[in-house]
Amino acid sequence: MGASWKNWAGNQQAHPHAVEHPRSAEEVALTVKRARDEGRHVKAVGAGHSFTAAAATDGTLLHLDRLTGAVVSDLASGLVTVQAGTPLHELNRILAELGLAMSNLGDIDRQTISGATSTGTHGTGSRLGGLATQIRGLELVVGDGSIVTCSATERPELFSAARVGLGALGVVTAVTLQCEPAFLLEADERPMPLEEVMEGLDDLADGNEHFEFYWFPHTDVALTKRNNRLAPGEPARPLKRWKEWLDDEFFANTLFNLVCAVGRRRPALVPRLNKSAAKMLGARRFSAPSHEVFTSPRRVRFVEMEYAVPRAAIRDAVRAVQRVVERDNLLVSFPIEVRVAAPDDIPLSTAYGRDSAYVAIHRYRGEPFEPYFRAVEAEMRALDGRPHWGKMHWRTSDDLRPAYPRFDDFLAVRDTVDPDRVFANDYLETVLGP
């Protein structure tokens, strides 16, 4: 009997021929060789936190939950190699024990390091790139079952592409990261009028190491978050435990889940519920180890779409979402998240070659999302937007190619390392072409 798989959000499922849990690159290589000989496809999956069908397959599904932990670390250089299935929360613990940290992180730490980087996961910071920009080396199993390594000096074309490889170039089995000495971040979180945020957006983004904001639809309020490093020697001032539980567990998860559930059953209440939630937002300031400030518990299930637009279009992008909500009379309980990132040189990175702004929209589990997402996608496309590879979108290779100057360079690397398309699936056929 075939196995079944579904992702974290429950919006994607697959029925693979087999599911395997490799413990080493060698076991991955044997599986890939066998699948190639039998004419089957192979896909790797980590935490299943992608909202797309990037990991779905009817062939062999490689679950990387046993391919975890640190392989080697060099405290002098800050280089740390970890196995590909290591979840970010475990990676953060490993690094903290070594006295190291990632320079930037997103706000969710459930993904695996290979899944997060392969889909272009990012944090926020106008002078900082996504997680993949911190990669210095990769080990992966390519289409013929060979185990290869690559870096900026070893197979540089493969390394350039595979940092955000979409699972198209092979199964990543180990990742070498450039880390830095552990540091403390001070978080300054406060509500502000949306119009004030929009007017001062450039100063807020450029005046803080990390800045993001959340706008609550049907209100004129945004929650702003500024994270900046403490000077060496300054002590941490963490939240009181009761305050942390109240804010991050009760309000942000338990109560928010209840509000969303009520809104799903009685959509007409959503504007009133959002206004009430916005009134409850309070300011808080605290400092803690960086990974504790970057990430927050996210237990409310949702589906998400996120677009990267040129940084100069950030206001137009936010206004476009407002326009869609008002024009289409949509009732949206989830806030809209806005972040920024520096340009990078990774061929399929959403920030390739340009300062970028990210606009993320969500729908609570069980709510209809397609009309909202498609309408916003049309607006983002008009702003030269690029969809996050791990989040919902309806783009195809025909319209993605013009958005990425090195799209064909990526395909050329794919032809080299997987000419038989062992790692193909329907999602890749759509976004990369047959």
Tens digits of per-residue pLDDT, 99-146? 999 999 999 999 999 999 999 999 999 999 999 999 999 999 999 999
User: Do 164 and 303 sit in the same domain of this protein?
Assistant: no
User: Do 135 and 222 sit in the same domain of this protein?
Assistant: no
Number of domains in the chain: 2
Does this model's pTM top 0.75? My answer is yes
User: Do 145 and 76 sit in the same domain of this protein?
Assistant: yes
Tens digits of per-residue pLDDT, 47-106? 999 999 999 999 999 999 999 998 899 999 999 999 999 999 999 999 999 999 999 999
Strand, helix or coil for residue 374: helix
Separation between Cα atoms, residue 249 and residue 256, nearest integer Å: 10
User: Is 118 part of a structural domain of the chain?
Assistant: yes
User: Do 217 and 167 sit in the same domain of this protein?
Assistant: no
Query: What is the average per-residue pLDDT within 347-364?
Result: 98
Separation between Cα atoms, residue 389 and residue 372, nearest integer Å: 18
Please, which pLDDT band fits residue 2 given cuts at 50, 70 and 90?
A: low
Tens digits of per-residue pLDDT, 217-235? 999 999 999 999 999 899 9
User: Do 79 and 132 sit in the same domain of this protein?
Assistant: yes
The set of long-range contacts for 229-233, using a CB threshold of 8 Å and a minimum separation of 24, is 229/183, 229/184, 229/185, 229/186, 229/290, 230/183, 230/184, 230/185, 230/186, 230/287
HSE, side-chain direction, 13 A CA sphere, residue 314: 24
User: Do 119 and 189 sit in the same domain of this protein?
Assistant: no
User: DSSP states of 273-306 as a string?
Assistant: HHHHHHHH---EEEEEEHHHHH-----S-EEEEE
Instruction: Assess contact for 210 and 122: CB atoms under 8 A.
Output: no
User: Do 251 and 371 sit in the same domain of this protein?
Assistant: yes
User: Is 43 part of a structural domain of the chain?
Assistant: no
Q: Is the dihedral of CA 71, 113, 348, 425 positive or negative?
A: positive
Domain extent for 315: 184-387
Residue 162 pLDDT > 80: yes
User: Do 268 and 279 sit in the same domain of this protein?
Assistant: yes
**CA separation (Å) from 319 to 163, 274, 325, 350, 415?**
32, 18, 10, 21, 41
User: Is 33 part of a structural domain of the chain?
Assistant: no
Lowest mean pLDDT among 2-6, 230-234, 400-404, 430-434: 2-6
Tens digits of per-residue pLDDT, 229-267? 999 899 999 999 999 999 999 989 999 999 999 999 999
Please tell me the predicted confidence (pLDDT) of residue 1.
45
User: Is 23 part of a structural domain of the chain?
Assistant: no
Query: What is the average per-residue pLDDT within 365-389?
Result: 97
- To the nearest whole percent, how much of the chain has pLDDT over 70? 100
Q: How many residues does the chain have?
A: 434
User: Is 223 part of a structural domain of the chain?
Assistant: yes
User: Do 82 and 151 sit in the same domain of this protein?
Assistant: yes
User: Is 10 part of a structural domain of the chain?
Assistant: no
User: Do 82 and 194 sit in the same domain of this protein?
Assistant: no
**CA separation (Å) from 37 to 141, 259, 297, 374?**
15, 52, 43, 40
Instruction: Assess contact for 405 and 353: CB atoms under 8 A.
Output: yes
Tens digits of per-residue pLDDT, 182-208? 999 999 999 999 999 999 999 999 999
Separation between Cα atoms, residue 21 and residue 98, nearest integer Å: 28
Question: What CATH number has the domain bearing residue 149?
Answer: 3.30.465.10
User: Do 252 and 355 sit in the same domain of this protein?
Assistant: yes
